[in-house]
Amino acid sequence: MVFDWSYFFSLFSMPAFWQASLTVVELSALGWFIGMLLGFLLASAKLSSSRLLSVPAGIYIWFFRSIPLLVLVVFVYNLPQMLPGSGAVLSNPFYSGLLALVVTEAAYMAEIHRGGLISVIKGQKEAGRALGIGVLGMQRLIVIPQAFRISLPTLINEYITVVKLTSLVSVISLTEILTVGQRLYAQNFLVMETLAAVGLYYVMIVSVFGWLLQRFEHSLDLNQRKPQTLDAAALIQLKGQLKAAAVNVRPASAPGAAPALQLQNIHKSYGDHDVLKGIDLRISAGQVVSIIGPSGSGKTSLIRTINGLESIDQGEIVLFGESFIHASDTPNNPQVRRGVRHIGMVFQNFNLFPHRTILDNITLAPRYHGQARELSEQRAYALLDKVGLLAHARKYPHQLSGGQQQRVAIARALAIDPEIMLFDEPTSALDPELVGDVLNVIQGLAREGMTLLIVTHEMEFAMSISDRVIFMENGHIGLDAPPEAIRRDVHSERVRKFMGIERAA
């Protein structure tokens, strides 16, 4: 058998093939895009805590991933026999094929999206909640952009699969590439030449659109973006603008009759393990309180209950004389959401949003809460200047050192104008040489009168900065005293031993 090359090449100037190629592009693009959107809704439903959503979504995904597409295409095309009203649409092979593709691809893409959604680390959502961002806002601004970047390579690969699957729609006589080829070789019996051309048409479509999608993926790859440091001239101009605007980066904490924070009989357990066992604590406005204690003593759990990241099993938290959190209150409780905006939170592992620049990290929450873009950016620049990172405003978090990221996290927390700042081991994830810069920023806030509650293992820092040091052990407050009393009091021996300091004479 001799391969007819002249006939093979003539097939690439045949209008029927190019028209069929356009049909394949339209069918695959629509099937992929609509399937991707529906798949995301299915993935979100499957991850929902409500079984009314998760169970039906799981059944849909299981069922339609199990049915061969060829069977589904034929079934949908013949559905008007059972449902005559659908004949106006489904009697058209294009729409029947599209519906079958979408139904199948939604099930497959749901699992791709689910993988992306569960890959977004818990700390990202907690950072959003600490900034007072609601569930929908958190999904839109924080979770979905990160999940989409994670899922995109697999979604692109799925598009290539969809292009190839369009050939199955030929069974219902849709005039796509394979259908044109079948009609030709049925007439001239040049099967090899025709199928080789059919295959090459598919290769061209996959290559062109695969390349375009990969370029899109490349444009979203943060690792490909070069660090943008503001030059000296831009810094001088920006500082001049900040000085002229006289941006106030933080309102002062005004001491009043009511304590800034009051914890009353707080209990918290994880299963059968009690981590907080009746904590009572009163913190006045402007006080700096450090919480120390051995690992597992409940320090982090305590600080996380204060801004609603952890629910409490018993007791009440009062904020500036007003009830804030009760037992069983959820983070989406309106009262909790309002109170959280008075409290800034700095996490041990920074929890900056990796898909946003440093400037965007700081302006995200103020803009979400309604602040004008220009004002939010002015305040963000002022805060970055305050923590010594103004030149890095256009960089992404991964382009900064750990100490710089933590200082950005402090600036982000301050951007919502909190009256209380919480620090959860702010230096434990840092190399020793980076700790000093972060502690200097915290000391600056203390000098300005900000109410601070700091969980720390930096004993010298705690003793030097704090009005009070709280020692926790086994879910209880073992000691609550000023640093000087800890150094001198005979009853503070256990705390001194933990801190590694001698009793003062």
Residue burial 141-179, b: 16+ Cβ < 10 Å; e: rest: bbbbbbbbbbbbeebbebbbebbebbbbbbebebbbbbb
pLDDT band at 316 (very low <50, low <70, confident <90, very high): very high
Q: What is the pLDDT of residue 328?
A: 78
Looking only at the bridges linking them, the beta strands covering 476-481 and 322-326 are unpaired
Judge if 377 and 485 occupy the same domain.
yes
Domain for residue 270, yes or no?
no
pLDDT in tens, 26-41: 999 999 999 999 999 9
pLDDT digits (tens, 9 = 90+) for 39-50: 999 999 999 989
In the prediction, which pLDDT does 504 show?
Answer: 66
Cβ contacts of residue 133 below 8 Å, gap of 6+? 141, 142, 364, 365, 368
Task: Read off the DSSP letter of residue 111.
Answer: H
Give the pLDDT confidence score for residue 95 in this predicted structure. Answer: 95
Do 399 and 357 lie in a common domain?
yes
How high is the pLDDT of residue 194? 94
- The whole-number pLDDT of residue 345 equals 94
Residues 252 and 190 in one domain: no
Q: What is the pLDDT of residues 110-153, one digit of tens each?
A: 999 999 999 999 999 999 999 999 889 999 999 999 999 999 99
Q: Tell me, what CATH number does 189's domain have?
A: 1.10.3720.10
Asked if residue 492 is part of any domain, the answer here is yes
pLDDT at 499: 87
Q: Which amino acid is at 217?
A: E
Vertex 122: Cα angle to 305 and 150 (nearest 5): 165
For residue 437, give the H/E element and its range.
helix 432-447
Examine the domain organization and report whether 185 and 252 are in the same domain. Answer: no
Q: What is the domain count for the chain?
A: 2
Radius of gyration for the alpha carbons in the chain, expressed in angstroms and rounded = 31
Nearest by Cα to 361 from 309, 400, 308, 307: 400
Considering the domain boundaries, does residue 407 fall inside one?
yes
One domain for residues 181 and 250: no
Q: Identify whether residues 192 and 294 lie together within a single domain.
A: no
pLDDT value, residue 195: 94
Same domain, 249 and 182: no
Using the predicted structure, report yes or no on whether residue 402 has a pLDDT greater than 80. Answer: yes
Question: What's the mean pLDDT in 212-234?
Answer: 88
pLDDT of residue 129: 92
Burial 251-287 (b: 16+ CB within 10 A, else e): eebeeeeebbbbbeebbbeeeeeebbbebebebbbbb
Residue 231: pLDDT band with limits 50, 70, 90:
confident
> Taking a C-beta distance cutoff of 8 angstroms, is the pair 308, 331 a contact?
yes
Q: What share of the chain is helix, strand, coil (3-state, %, to 5)?
A: 60, 10, 25
Range of the domain at 160: 5-220
Residue 503 in this model has a pLDDT that exceeds 90: no
Q: Is residue 194 a part of any domain in this protein?
A: yes
- pLDDT reported for residue 192: 94
- CB-CB neighbours of 102 under 10 Å: 22
Does residue 32 sit in the same domain as residue 136?
yes
Band (256; pLDDT cuts 50, 70, 90): low
Under the banding of pLDDT at 50, 70 and 90, the label for residue 248 is low
Tell me: do 143 and 250 sit in the same domain. no
Q: Is 406 in the same domain as 483?
A: yes
203 and 295 housed in the same domain: no
Considering the entire predicted model, what is its pTM?
A: 0.86
In this prediction, residue 20 carries a pLDDT of: 95
**Distance in angstroms (rounded) separating the CA atoms of residues 233 and 138:** 36
Instruction: Specify which residues 323 forms β-bridges with.
Output: 318
**Mean pLDDT of the 359-376 span:** 95
Q: Could you tell me if residue 317 is inside a domain?
A: no
Among the ranges given (137-151, 376-390, 425-439), the one the predictor scored with the smallest mean pLDDT:
425-439
Is 265 domain-assigned?
Answer: no
CATH number at residue 302: 3.40.50.300
- pLDDT over 90 (residue 434): no
Kindly state whether residue 290 falls inside one of the protein's structural domains.
yes
Kindly state whether residues 9 and 147 are assigned to the same domain. Answer: yes
Rounded to an integer, the average pLDDT of 94-106 is 96
Rounded CA-CA distance 87/361 in Å is 52
Q: Is residue 365 part of a domain?
A: yes
Position 250 pLDDT exceeds 70? no
